[in-house]
Structure 1
């Protein structure tokens, strides 16, 4: 049985385990198995390192016996996950006056002194925790460095390798246990009690006689993932010195007109590295970054880690590995973090860009854009008409701003949350958005925005908004374009082949439908038809209908909207055919379509030939104390049935026109905000009557599916009753979360971080579906609905439809599909595929190093 408090020499058959010794130890064993020239290495287990941190010293003599007579070593961290970080590597342990003299004859006096001096400084800073300024001495020598150390610590620098190594091990073990280190690794996803392994390795010197140096090489471009030899090599150096050297200090790896290269000066070494890279790629099933040392012309491989990469490169690397037969297609699908591919769909701030952060808020919609600040919808439209990119800034957005949001390149709001109005619309449009930037002060009258540090930007000033990080940057910065090319599409094609839950898009306009089709959505799961009314010509007509004093006047105004709605529906049917389109009937309170500014009221008065006072009075008559729980949704359809009748007629006439070539379009009509069975009965009877009229007028058959958007807790509880009249139930989890919690999604951002940080909620329920509360309502509704109607179609059409954890929950309930913003469709497709692949064997573990 393996002694967990022992150390283990790394050999091909040693009992090295990733969870016990860390990823670096396991990787080094695999490199050795692949026949690579790895110096002698010993792995210290995580339990052993914990005991060292607690003050128990291991058997140093037994440890050193593994290295025979070789007197100089290095120690590296070996964490369970590569990206958890860890203490800095310490090199040249064992260097002292005696060994300096020994290596002077072997490597040369200058190299031996440099190695000794380098260790003294490293030990002083990393082990003794001294300030490196103590070595700011003119013509620093080993003697002066030793004197400086003794002056600072009141004790002589340790000469014995046992003492040096023991102190290094203890220092690294205790550094890992420190508060700062713990918080840092937890921010990277490590558990609070994550352990640290260490590896002790025989030093291969990159300094001395003959060709000596150190470098790093990888075989893919970190930004694109395309095959390319990348790295640097520096003569007379150690570790990763080459990467921090100036342009004239290090060699390029391949022939380069900018300077000398390793390929030119040491072709044998370069060719050997390329061969080893190919071996590592196949044997480790990964693109690796290899750290190497050349000692007197002899190549040593010290370490290898997965090559750093962007999300774009990750996709290219995974697909290339699969196409080359190194991994399976399923493995390639599993390697990509679904949320990470969001950055491929939008431009991003370049990694090398300098960031002058003007404001911070909630990263509400990913991507980045640069443009001039504008403060209202009119200014945004004007800017767009002149071909100028703009960033729309508002205290918070309302439906009045939607036209400006369409014209803008990005959106910034002082108020609002991750699932508020601005965030939801921005995600649907694929626009970068930062909400809840509470530290700024937006002055719409002066048309300025003031930052927390007092800086003031005015309309026309240029900013860059980074919706992926929640930052607003002053000025223009370099951006990286979206990358949805061949590798991206190929990977998602593999994902579609294995997933077992449908993915549709929320799309409100033909333009949105085009985006949904581009991302291969399996249909439209939610079309918020009221969003089609925001064009200037349509909005005025809708306002006439809202202001109508009787049914006749309202019907007359709506008849002018009919051809506009019919044209939109026809376009969406043709774009998505033969895929289904689910159209939600008019939902929001009418006040959202009425002007709130003096300027808007005057414009409406002029359009309606009314006085401003009459318009203001009518707006006040229509106002409600709590409009989101007032006259909206199905309640409008019952009290003002002409609206739903017009929409139903537009849907049926568009469906008939779109039914060509013998393929009938069968629209899905969804009733919003239902709470009672009788509401469905009343609306259904009117829609059936409209269908009968259209069939009579056209002589064509009209087919459609009627369903309900389940948004209220009562609708979920009475799903069995409602299902008697509905062929599908689609859960609107945005509103259901609001109503279940009694929270406003637009205002919750002000305190949600405090709630999450203090453990009141595990996560923001507007970002990740609350499976215990809201989820229980979904489970009850699904069960009760299918008891009444066995083949009842079930789906989620709120923003949770694009969240991987929420998709897993929907899949567990047997839902037929999820629907999300068009730009989240690829994320949902990938997440759904990973769930299907992972399910047979539980948590997928294939990409950890095998423990054999």
Structure 2
């Protein structure tokens, strides 16, 4: 009962240029309700109505239908009376009827995700009264058949029984059209419409065993409940999960007086945008239909007409294609109803200036009178988002700070990766859904083995899961698809790092390596078959889909300049190759926060030397093998240092367990034995010895360097020699050597001593020096607790939140995909902790680590290099905890730059 007592007011009215709410009350009234109140208050012609708050939805989910209806009954009845007075009509009256619309309205726009009911209040008596009142029998029965159909589907659940069935009401409509030999709904006679209402009701009784509700108040209460129920419908849950909206937000219910666009040729309905939502171009545009209601435009039952004359360059192609039809049969609203258009144009300008943002508006024309049904900040592409923000600054409508805060950092991804042509996607057949692990679009031929990727010009590497051994093939492939793994699996992390489209964790795939086949969606795919991946949605598509390169506009650079102007926390990149480093630098990275040296060992000539080192039985044997790797590593580091041109580069020493570097297939084991001139049995024994029950918690990181310090020596020498070589060329290098997986103070000290002693040896050999620092990756929970001790010797901390999250939760990154979706759906977790930093748990360890580290060394440099370094809310957390930088994959650098600037601005505003 506590939730009930907290709520003081559940219903807010608006209309007749008055309102109890305003646009700042979106959390309570939902976006739609808040904007309806605001528009009414500023004099926009809005049909009067009322909003039942989002708190009531939360109350409904907690307490149930009976209690909630009792709580809102008096307030709703009073609000309906208010609407009746304004409209001079009475709800449920058979002579002067008032009809209502019932719509959802969450605090954020969720178009098409929840339910709407129009023409509510009609029954057999009221329809007769409406016909007499309007002197338009056809309109009255058209509204009635629409109401029964919509109410039957939304409230009563009259849906197709299976995905192969047609909607029961549509089946009745199609049968009647066939019988009458007509194609459009507008061709129905009055008798046809009466027959449809009769048949619709009959279908309801036949399916549900009960009569269609005739009492208008019963209709209203049931519709309100249906809107609340739709908040937890499959569509809404999917949409919320896709965008990360919390389930406890709830939706408001908006009840308005109906206005009618289906009253004849002087009536209509439409949707319009104050700017182009695709490009951001400052052109008023939209679509409308004559003699129709709102759902007709959305449903595409009839070909919509353009609001304007298509004079913009954006619409040039469309104008050429439809010019003849446009003139003869599809005139624009501007041509057909110039006075209405002028009024609508005036309102769109007023609303954009009032909200200082591009608006998405819905309108109805009822017998020559214009009504605005809704306005909201319009959904837009990433390109449009950037252009509109910059244009609004130039127009003096918003400040630089406001423009930057309006940018959705994640949408910048759309500007950086290849995308599918929207026209090509219309007919695409989606065969499975995975996780959108790395944005972009890819079309190619299926290949199941990384070393065979090059056999096709365009390949999609399909694996159950990938390993570091697959790196070269992953780099050559157009896209990567895995049946296992999450957003921070190997495939996902590497793909984002190299800007490669990737869909991971597609559990519906059945992959058979032996037969080189994949079974999904009732079809067997073989090597060489074409599929397409949408890395932004996780969709897997049958066959080829045309892609196009993103168009980076000048406004993108303007936004990045603004970000740099206000950001105080720097953004680095995770990069393992000179190419990655160069890409990131072009995106504005101010250094490298993580170079994973193990990725350098998997090329053909290097993996052999690495395996020699692993299989060697003596220190001498290991050093001989490492001597072969030294020049290769040195060359890699030189390339990375050159690419970063004097910016700091953090290099992580060897981290993964050694078993990842050895082959496991018999043929490859035999080949390795022959190359090393040892027996196959010896190789098998050594490989078997390397196997671990839990390698992620086993012999890896600093533990490897402690057991085999010669590895640390070789890598340190390669780093220092590379920096010295570049110094001779007049190129500055700033290496930061990072020791991974430290959990004790003595682990760090042992490795640090090896590093510094090796560096001194090189300095003496070369008779020259460079500055370098030694720090650690904080990724073991114990390290955060003893951070004050580690900071006595460490020059910097870099939080590896991938492993820190794994160890804190006790979740395996690569196996969490089996249960995390259930946790998210059931609300046990609000976000995937490998995607969005868990600030309550893991974040507290990070905070402790920073606080304790700086208690010892106040100027300790601190950053983050886990995948969270490119996620906006996690970037804000890093800023608020005083980090010096975040580091992320190259293609997320612009996202992190904007997020860093936004965090600084929000801190100033607070």
**Normalising to structure 1: TM-score of the pair?**
0.87
Please name the residue that 1:109 is paired with.
Answer: none
> Which moves more between the two structures, 392-401 or 525-534?
392-401
Superposed, 1:721-736 pairs within 5 Å as 721-736=789-804
Please name the residue that 1:65 is paired with.
Answer: 85
Q: Shift in Å at residue 392 of structure 1? A: 1.1
Match of 1:236 among 291, 300, 304: 291
Match of 1:23 among 28, 31, 35: 31
Distance 2:692 2:13 in 1: 73
Q: Shift in Å at residue 12 of structure 1? A: 4.1
Match of 1:214 among 260, 266, 269: 269
> Which moves more between the two structures, 563-572 or 181-190?
181-190
Contact kept, 8 Å, 1:287 with 1:317, in 2: the verdict is: yes
Please name the residue that 1:403 is paired with.
Answer: 472
Q: Shift in Å at residue 375 of structure 1? A: 1.1
Superposed, 1:413-432 pairs within 5 Å as 413-432=482-501
Match of 2:250 among 191, 194, 201: 194
**Normalising to structure 2: TM-score of the pair?**
0.82
Deviations 1:712-751 (A, max 9, x none): 2333333223222211111222223333344432223223
Q: Is 2:457 the partner of 1:393?
A: no
Secondary structure of residue in 2 paired with 1:225: coil
Match of 1:810 among 866, 878, 883: 878
Please name the residue that 2:314 is paired with.
Answer: none
Please name the residue that 2:713 is paired with.
Answer: 645
Distance 1:574 1:182 in 2: 54
Please name the residue that 2:440 is paired with.
Answer: 367
Please name the residue that 2:49 is paired with.
Answer: 42
Secondary structure of residue in 1 paired with 2:256: strand
Distance 1:222 1:546 in 2: 57
Q: Shift in Å at residue 83 of structure 1? A: 2.2
Contact kept, 8 Å, 1:74 with 1:93, in 2: the verdict is: yes
Describe the shift of the 1:783–1:354 C-alpha distance in structure 2 as closer, same or farther (beyond 3 A). same
Please name the residue that 1:178 is paired with.
Answer: 229
Secondary structure of residue in 1 paired with 2:283: strand
Distance 1:540 1:724 in 2: 39
Q: Shift in Å at residue 670 of structure 1? A: 0.8
Distance 2:579 2:603 in 1: 14
Describe the shift of the 1:800–1:8 C-alpha distance in structure 2 as closer, same or farther (beyond 3 A). closer
Secondary structure of residue in 2 paired with 1:227: coil
Match of 2:652 among 560, 563, 584: 584
Please name the residue that 2:279 is paired with.
Answer: 224
Q: Is 2:131 the partner of 1:100?
A: yes
Match of 1:460 among 528, 531, 537: 528
Q: Is 2:634 the partner of 1:555?
A: no
The RMSD of aligned alpha carbons is 3.5
Contact kept, 8 Å, 1:359 with 1:472, in 2: the verdict is: yes
Contact kept, 8 Å, 1:10 with 1:16, in 2: the verdict is: no
Contact kept, 8 Å, 1:34 with 1:280, in 2: the verdict is: no
Q: Is 2:759 the partner of 1:691?
A: yes
Distance 2:693 2:296 in 1: 67
Contact kept, 8 Å, 1:146 with 1:157, in 2: the verdict is: no
Distance 1:146 1:422 in 2: 55
Q: Shift in Å at residue 449 of structure 1? A: 1.4
Describe the shift of the 1:441–1:235 C-alpha distance in structure 2 as closer, same or farther (beyond 3 A). closer
Please name the residue that 1:849 is paired with.
Answer: none
Distance 2:300 2:355 in 1: 30
Contact kept, 8 Å, 2:447 with 2:528, in 1: the verdict is: yes
Q: Is 2:545 the partner of 1:472?
A: no
Superposed, 1:821-832 pairs within 5 Å as 821-832=889-900
Describe the shift of the 1:143–1:91 C-alpha distance in structure 2 as closer, same or farther (beyond 3 A). closer
Distance 1:593 1:3 in 2: 65
Deviations 1:801-844 (A, max 9, x none): 223333333333322222222222233223233322223455xx
Please name the residue that 1:88 is paired with.
Answer: 116
Q: Show structure 1 runs of 5+ residues with no match.
A: 105-111, 843-852
Deviations 1:120-161 (A, max 9, x none): 113323446576466765655265466657877799997xxx
Secondary structure of residue in 1 paired with 2:146: helix
Describe the shift of the 1:411–1:464 C-alpha distance in structure 2 as closer, same or farther (beyond 3 A). same
Distance 1:607 1:414 in 2: 34
Q: Is 2:364 the partner of 1:357?
A: no
Match of 2:555 among 475, 487, 512: 487
Q: Shift in Å at residue 397 of structure 1? A: 1.8
Distance 1:479 1:169 in 2: 47
Distance 2:250 2:52 in 1: 13
Please name the residue that 1:377 is paired with.
Answer: 450
Please name the residue that 1:655 is paired with.
Answer: 723
Describe the shift of the 1:269–1:584 C-alpha distance in structure 2 as closer, same or farther (beyond 3 A). same
Contact kept, 8 Å, 1:217 with 1:232, in 2: the verdict is: yes
Distance 1:720 1:837 in 2: 31
Distance 1:595 1:399 in 2: 12
Q: Shift in Å at residue 798 of structure 1? A: 1.5
Secondary structure of residue in 2 paired with 1:83: coil
Deviations 1:147-186 (A, max 9, x none): 657877799997xxxx64x455334312223367566545
> Which moves more between the two structures, 441-450 or 479-488?
479-488
Describe the shift of the 1:53–1:172 C-alpha distance in structure 2 as closer, same or farther (beyond 3 A). farther
Contact kept, 8 Å, 1:52 with 1:169, in 2: the verdict is: no
Distance 1:757 1:241 in 2: 33
Q: Show structure 2 runs of 5+ residues with no match.
A: 1-6, 58-67, 90-95, 159-167, 181-188, 311-318
Distance 1:674 1:441 in 2: 39
Match of 1:308 among 352, 373, 379: 379
Describe the shift of the 1:214–1:729 C-alpha distance in structure 2 as closer, same or farther (beyond 3 A). closer
Please name the residue that 2:505 is paired with.
Answer: 436
Please name the residue that 1:508 is paired with.
Answer: 576
Distance 1:179 1:293 in 2: 25
Please name the residue that 1:347 is paired with.
Answer: 418
Please name the residue that 1:118 is paired with.
Answer: 142
Distance 2:726 2:11 in 1: 74
Distance 1:649 1:429 in 2: 27
Please name the residue that 1:848 is paired with.
Answer: none
Please name the residue that 1:619 is paired with.
Answer: 687
Contact kept, 8 Å, 1:207 with 1:238, in 2: the verdict is: no
Please name the residue that 1:79 is paired with.
Answer: 105
Describe the shift of the 1:410–1:53 C-alpha distance in structure 2 as closer, same or farther (beyond 3 A). farther
Deviations 1:587-609 (A, max 9, x none): 22222212222332244344434
